[in-house]
Amino acid sequence: MSVVLGCIADDFTGATDLAGLLARSGVKVSLRMGLPTEDPETCETAAFEVIALKSRTAPVADAVAETRAALDWLRRAGAKRFFWKYCSTFDSTAEGNIGPVAEALMKDIGTDQTIYCPAFPENGRSIFMGNLFVGELPLSESPMKDHPLTPMRDSNLMRLLAPQVNGQVGLANRLCVAEGADALKARLAELTKQGVAHVVVDAVANEDLYTIAEACRDMPLMTGGSAVAMPLPDLYLADGTLSPDAEKAVTPDLPEGAIILSGSCSKMTRAQVSECLKSVSGYKLDPITLSKEGVQSARDWLASQDPRSSKIIYATTDPEGVRAAQETLGTTKAGELVEAALAQLAVDARDAGTRRFVVAGGETSGAVTKSLNVTRMTIGKEIAPGVPWTFCESGGAVIALTLKSGNFGTETFFADALTSLEESSPQ
């Protein structure tokens, strides 16, 4: 069928986050990992197509080129409206990649204005007077200030965005949003007359997201975190843009046993790994050791484990550990060593019979899905807001895979994920 909304995400966990929220409506959602190779004019498509890229920390030119290629595929699939998804903590640097990608998409689509709304109130992300909060902390005081790749040292989204774009940056604040969709439309029209191309929009609660979606539903391009796209399916169903023809995902019958692969070093993931180690066997990866000895010791440990049991392999560590590895190896190499190791271990686990995979961290998720040769997913049950189970084929087998952004979920997320899958499996 023709694509109603074409979505592009800058990492794999963000893509599953977005797909999971769109799937809450019951509308069929297709998630494609990496640039699709199928002909969009002849292959099967869904009303909501999400393309997951691994471009969040790529060189700006590469990120722009890859995103434009994804846009071209979606346009040839019939999409007329588009959504550019990035992290709810606006992960980026003064060079990009959020602004340059958005500006390139605007040019290709032929629109002179878009919005930026990374708010996700269910996960404690809110925007007030243009400033992004993580829980009750300004972004610059949250653990994101120590992110190893995109340390966020400013909370003001206009100041963060301005160096990344050529056009003017403006604000539609909470007072405007609180007045409703018509008031927000009027504010956007006013800013258009002023030549403002990039508009940050405040949101502190779910009702704000519905107001924003209502006001912006017909914009050729919206950008933001996943939550502001969540209301769109119901709006399209209500006005007849979309027909309710979606199939519901069926949870496959999978053998017992799971592996958790964690490369994220976020504060929440550190707590989740600590909690998980109370009940399952674990193996810790160290980038410096990997650089000297390789991954064979971890592979041997995994081979000694029962495929029907649950286990965790993790490189998760505190900020001091991250800094030590980066100072010794360099930021890029430290991350690449961990990603490559976890990717190899995922393949080993699959080949040994494991069919349930939980992956933590955006870069790790990209590496693991690539190594498993996963190209398309069916969206299943949500484990936590923005984190669904997905089902796909890998190496001739059906597997369950969940990709978790570092800061998402509660401390018991890993156990919750496995319980959730068990409860939804065929009896």
Q: What integer best gives the mean pLDDT of the chain?
A: 93
Is the domain spanning 5-238 CATH 3.30.460.20? The answer is: no
Q: Is residue 185's pLDDT more than 80?
A: yes
pLDDT at 248: 53
pTM value?
0.79
Q: Please tell me the predicted confidence (pLDDT) of residue 1.
A: 61
CATH 3.40.980.20 location in the chain: 258-424
Confidence of residue 422 (pLDDT cuts 50, 70, 90): confident
Residue ranges matching CATH 3.40.50.10840 in the chain: 5-238
Angle, CA of 200, 201 and 206, to the nearest 5°: 145
Model pLDDT for residues 242-297, shown as the tens digit of each residue? 887 655 556 788 999 999 999 999 999 999 999 999 999 999 999 999 999 999 99
* CATH class of this structure's domain 258-424: alpha beta
- Is residue 400 within 8 A of residue 421, CB to CB? The reply is yes
Q: State pLDDT tens for residues 97-126.
A: 999 999 999 999 999 999 999 999 998 999
> pLDDT (tens digit, 9 = 90+) per residue, 246-255?
555 567 889 9
